Structure 1
Amino acid sequence: MSDPVLNLAAPPSLGWIDLGMFALMLAMSAFIGVYFGLSKKQDTAKEYLMGGKSMGMLPVSISLIASFVSGITLLGVPAEMYQHGTQYSAAAISFVLIGWTTATIFLPIYSKLGISSSYEYLELRFNKKVRRLCSVMYAIALMFYIPVVIYVPALAFSQVTGINVHVVTPITCLVCIFYTTLGGLRAVVWTDALQTLIMMAAIIFVMTLGAEKLGGWGRVWQINEAGDRLRFFNMDPDPFRRQSFWSVVVGVYFMFLADCATGQSFVQRYLSVPDLKTATKTVVIFAIGLVGTLLLSVANGLLVYASYADCDPIISQRASKPDQLLPLFVMDVAGHIPGFTGLFIAGVFSAALSSMSTGLNSLAGVLVQDLFAGYLSPRISTGTWLKTMAALLGFISVGLVYVVENLGGVLQSILSLNGVTSGPMLGLFVLGMFFPSANSKGALAGSLISLFAVGFVVFGAQFAQHTGALVHKALPVSVENCTYAAGNFSLGQQHHRDDIFEEDNDDVWPILKLSFTYYTLLGLVIVLVVGNLVSILCKEADSKSKPINRDLFCPLVHRFLPPDSEQEASPAEKEELMPTLQR
């Protein structure tokens, strides 16, 4: 290995210019909220949640990218490259497949039905109970995700730059609540576009400067190759291996298909553009953006490893968690440039704010339209209820940030909650679109059993990791050329972190060793198996008399529908099934 390239005794502190850059991003986001809140009347669900179906293709595409790429992604993917190598980069293939599946299978069905909430489909296909169950799962998962997506970047920058979590988090959250509540989807989309530009500018600049200081990309590649970080084609099909080519491509495909094809926050924006053709182009741009962002994050991970290959920052106590490696790298590379660290902080928090604003907007719609539709006073306009709900959810999220902070090791369990709910949710849609014989009893039974089964696997695995019974092997790191020592760390004595050694996992149940990327696929399979079996055993009494709408099914299964299904449900019947607020 070469001598360490970057190795400061302590990260530089933030200056007023850096704080000014961060404050400017927040001010511009707030201004966008005020502009759309005052210039557009948003008294209806269609206006507040879908921008009047008049949104432009490009800003919606950028907004989708921004909400998908959270601060967790920007900090977590480079940390993944540093610890486990580049195998996760195969997710680029998954993103392409997700875009194709969403555009060709799911989107045409939503468009034909003329719905504004993805969960309306479940009511049209099954019944209101199934719709509410899926809405509850979505709401629970999102209420845990929103505070985490804010807390993770705040924690990283707090420990690396000295910014206090309890100062940054409330300020950023309050600004996000303000523009999301006041401006609706229009404000969410345009602030996402602004924040994405800031985020991408920061990432590209630090990549360019970092590669130059390290001697070019050829040198970066050489160091990563020597450190065994270049792992692209591990073709081991073992589903219990933490990561391989197949677990990434197949597992990540289903894991994120659940969000991108059925999640309300995504479907809501697909349908905010004027027509299906524009929506399809939007999904294509979205998929391309995901691939590009992933590759940029992978490149940052290679830079981080090349910088600290001979002096692991965690052992040398310059950082306490892997998520802090990229911020530390930025401070080391560009901390001397006035304003740049502030720009990067603004970029990472922009990704977090875009995820939060999107979550608040879509979750408000789900609660008002799907869960509380029959309990809210009609004297108050739907738009007012939506704004009130978005604000309330925002303040709850701020409070939950403090709860997340005190959970310690349970934090990873909360992040895994997405795997618990995404499988059952995706399973409901696939069951409805591809299996004409499935009924509401099968859908309810399949989703509930899947929810509890996957929950047992996910939280069982997290508990086993927390207790040390299950350990995932990380790649070796070194401190042989460190020039900095802190605390009890002694140069030359410790060359590996504690989490690198692979312990004996034989005492753990085999199912708990399942790769985390397969959690969603496991949930999907359980829904399909149980759902179809229960549907066969418990045929609904009115199933034969109920008209079949071919628009509810994927065209691939139209040939298996009864001949009389050619006559679709009439517009009056469709209107009868639609919720009151949607009308």
Structure 2
Amino acid sequence: MVGTGGPVATFSVWDYVVFAGIILVAAGIGLFQAIRGRKETSSAEFLLGGRQMTAVPVAMSLTASFMSGITVIGTPAEAYRFGTAFWIFGISYSIMSAVTAEIFVPLFYRLGITSAYEYLEMRFSRPIRVIGTSMYIVQTALYTGLVIYAPALALNQITGLDLWGVLVATGVVCIVYCTLGGLKAVIWTDVLQMVVMLAGFVAVIARGAVLQGGLTNIFQDAREGGRLETFDFDPDPLKRHTFWTIVVGGSVMWVSIYSINQSQVQRYISCKTLGHAKMSLYVNMVGLWVTVSLAMLSGLTMYSIYKNCDPLTNGDIGTPDQLLPYLVMDILAVYPGIPGLFVAAAYSGTLSTVSSSINALVAVTMEDFIVPFWKNLPQKQISWMNMGLSVFFGALCIGMAGVASMMGSVLQAALSIFGMISGPLLGLYLLGMLFRTTNSVGGLVGMIIGLVLTLWVGIGGQIYPPTAEKTNPLPLSTEGCITNQTFTTTIPVTSQPDVSVRPPLADTWYSLSYVYFSLLGTLTTIVSGLLVSIITGGCKQEKLNSNLFVRKNDLICFSCFSKHKVADITEKAATDFDMGVDNAAFTETDVMSKVSEKVTKL
């Protein structure tokens, strides 16, 4: 009986067919792109899709990359356990999209970069670029391994799918279409995966609504269970989720992910015009709204079904991440193939993130470590190196999944460290983009201070987790359970620190909301970087390239209403009139021809 506890069904033959079919279609898209573009073997074609992508597929790819397998199964569990405060992240997505589109995209776009970290060398120095790239490679390889392992473990223990078989298969599929099809394959498979993921959420919500007598009853149950108390305006920075932590801290966190993370930057600079690049972020914003809304609604549906019999408390599952897979097998197993669709949705999130990471890792390795030292490599050799690196990083990510399986409770700690690194890096970029006085010494010292501070508070928070008073878990019941099960987990047992005696910092500094980590790192880096730059004499260069700084006319509110003189057209035609022409690969002849067209029209 649904919602009363106990074991649930496992995969049927049709579930395996649907699951395998969707994964094979994803691989097929990669092969199609490889065959279609077999005559285009340039590095720009492989890494940036020839810089001719359009807004909508890039936007869907950006959204799909955000929706890792951890997000697909973790966000509904968040609504189930803590309520809908996570919904406020929709405001953060809006702020992030505007900041990224109007400040970062124009700057990266006009510089014609392939690696986001090229900017660090242009503005500061070669060593800072190498440090920034190295930090990205380490965090991305580790995070990608975790993205492969965490949902695989949750789904394995619910569906019975072989854990390591699926881990290896996931990596191999990504390697195939990343190696053969490049960025175009990644983006177009992301489009398919986005559709599949949203279909998975819709299937859960629709079936739940039928079982519970409509969405009205689901919302009524959620209201009675305290799940709809979304807005908490308490300014306490130690509380896990409040309006202020999510809007202020969450906005900075998402800006750091979308604005300077190579996986995201590589997509919007692949667009054929600046207008498409900006539009991709605004369409992506709508995609994020839809995604988080469906995920939250799935969580509320899950609560309505299990309000009287919590599977986690009852021992039917071992971790919160298994809640949604358990629900799927409980309510959808009567429809052969539908559980397979959901599992494919979760793995589509994994495939999307892994493929994005592999392609981005190849780009930064080529642009930051190989091309600068071997500038005259033949194009054919560069193409083979791109494909070879795709295979290498794909294998590395599978290997990191193996490392993740050994981590036990350190798994969440590693995910938190990934988020902590982005804050200081964002601070470094803002130092370079906004302040002409910042020098290399100030930038480097500021980033190190910011990184040390965020790692200190983050690791401390993992060792001494915040109390329930700060995390605010909502009550759950097992009164309606028919049976009690003893769940056996396969997560390796690791030694845990003795937290019975909490140090003085545990309930203050270490309890800082994780959403504020990026804000802390960003502000610390900016303040300390400026101070050190001033102490060390500021920027002593005679003249800095104005392209390295944010311009007023980059912002749409200025570019749309400013009046341009004919004398200014040569300099500004590519950015002010139609929000961009061909991407940074365009030639001087192309620019002058477009300028002539503008002058003629005037």
* TM-score normalised by length of structure 1: 0.89
User: Which residue, 107, 125, 128 being the options, matches 1:127?
Assistant: 125
Structure 2 CA distance, aligned partners of 1:149 and 1:165?
14
The answer to whether the 8 Å contact 2:27/2:176 transfers is yes
Separation in structure 1 between the aligned mates of residue 40 and residue 522 of structure 2, nearest angstrom: 37
8 Å Cα contact 1:335/1:341 also seen in 2: yes
Query: Aligned with 1:314: secondary structure?
Result: helix
Q: Distance in 2 between matches of 1:160 and 1:324?
A: 7
Q: Find the residue that maps to 2:131 and give its secondary structure.
A: helix
Matches within 5 A, 1:60-209: 60-209=58-207
The one-letter code matched in structure 1 to 2:388 is T
Provide closer, same or farther for how the CA distance between residues 291 and 488 of structure 1 changes in structure 2, counting only shifts above 3 A.
Answer: closer
Stretches of structure 2 lacking an aligned partner (at least 5 in a row): 489-499, 555-567, 572-583, 585-602
Pick closer, same or farther for the CA change 1:470–1:403 going to 2, 3 Å. Answer: farther
Structure 1 CA distance for aligned equivalents of residues 431 and 237 of structure 2: 24
Q: Distance in 1 between matches of 2:315 and 2:165?
A: 24
- Aligned position for 2:260: 262
**TM-score of the pair, normalised by structure 2:** 0.86
CA distance in 1: counterparts of 2:486 and 2:506, whole angstroms: 35
Counterpart-to-counterpart distance in 1, 2:458 and 2:240: 14
Matching residue of 1:481: 480
CA contact (8 A) 2:460 2:506 kept: no
Aligned to 2:512: 514
Partner AA of 1:409 in structure 2? S
Matches of 1:550 and 1:341, distance apart in 2:
55
How far residue 8 of structure 1 moved from its aligned partner, in angstroms, is 5.1
The 3-state SS of whatever aligns with 1:237 is coil
- Secondary structure in 2 aligned to 1:159? helix
- Is 1:287 the counterpart of 2:285? The answer is yes
Matched, 1:16 2:42: no
Q: Which amino acid aligns with 2:338?
A: F
Give me the whole-angstrom Cα distance separating, in 2, the residues matched to 1:441 and 1:353.
39
CA shift at 1:473, angstroms? 4.3
Of 535, 542, 547, the match for 1:551: 547
Q: Distance in 2 between matches of 1:192 and 1:513?
A: 37
Q: Match of 1:483, as an amino acid?
A: I
Matched residues in 1 for 2:443 and 2:402: separation? 36
**Is the contact made by 2:446 and 2:527 (CA closer than 8 Å) also made in structure 1?**
yes
2:484 corresponds to which letter in structure 1? A
Q: Percent identity?
A: 37
Opposite residue 550 of structure 1, the aligned amino acid is: S
The residue that corresponds to 1:381 in the other structure is 381
Give, in whole Å, the separation in 2 of the partners of 1:454 and 1:20: 45
Pair 373,470 (structure 1): closer, same or farther in 2 beyond 3 Å? farther
Contact 2:332/2:338 (CA < 8 Å) preserved in 1?
yes
Looking at structure 2, the residues matched to 521 and 42 of structure 1 have their Cα atoms a distance apart, in angstroms, of 42
Residue type of the alignment partner of 2:178: T
* 1:30–1:352 Cα change, 3 Å: same
Q: Is the 8 A contact 2:318 2:487 kept in 1?
A: no
How many residues are paired up?
544
Trace 1:107-506 onto structure 2 (pairs within 5 A).
107-375=105-373, 378=377, 381-465=381-465, 472-487=471-486
Matched, 1:28 2:25: yes
Partner of 2:575: none
Q: Which runs of 5+ in 1 are unaligned?
A: 490-501, 559-565, 569-577, 579-583
* 1:360 to 1:183, Cα distance in 2 relative to 1, 3 A: same
Supply the distance in 2 between the matched residues of 1:477 and 1:146 (Cα, whole angstroms). 32
**DSSP 3-state at the match of 1:520:** helix
Deviations 1:221-269 (A, max 9, x none): 1111111111211000111111111101111111111111111111111
Contact kept? 1:419, 1:458, Cα under 8 Å = no
Give 1:210 deviation, angstroms: 1.0
- 1:431-462 CA-to-partner distances (Å, cap 9, x unmatched) read 11111111111111111121122111111111
Letter in 1 for 2:368: D
For residues 26 and 114 of structure 2, what CA distance do their matches in structure 1 show? 26
Give the aligned residue type for 1:27: L
Q: Identify the residue that residue 499 of structure 1 maps to in structure 2.
A: none
Distance of 1:397 and 1:284 partners within structure 2 = 31
Rate the CA distance shift 1:469–1:343 in 2: closer, same or farther, 3 A: closer
* Contact kept in structure 1, 2:420 and 2:517, CA below 8 Å: yes
- Structure 1 residue 56: deviation in Å? 2.4
CA RMSD between the two structures:
2.5
- C-alpha distance in 2 between matches for 1:384 and 1:451: 36
Given residue 428 of structure 2, which amino acid in structure 1 is its aligned partner?
A: L
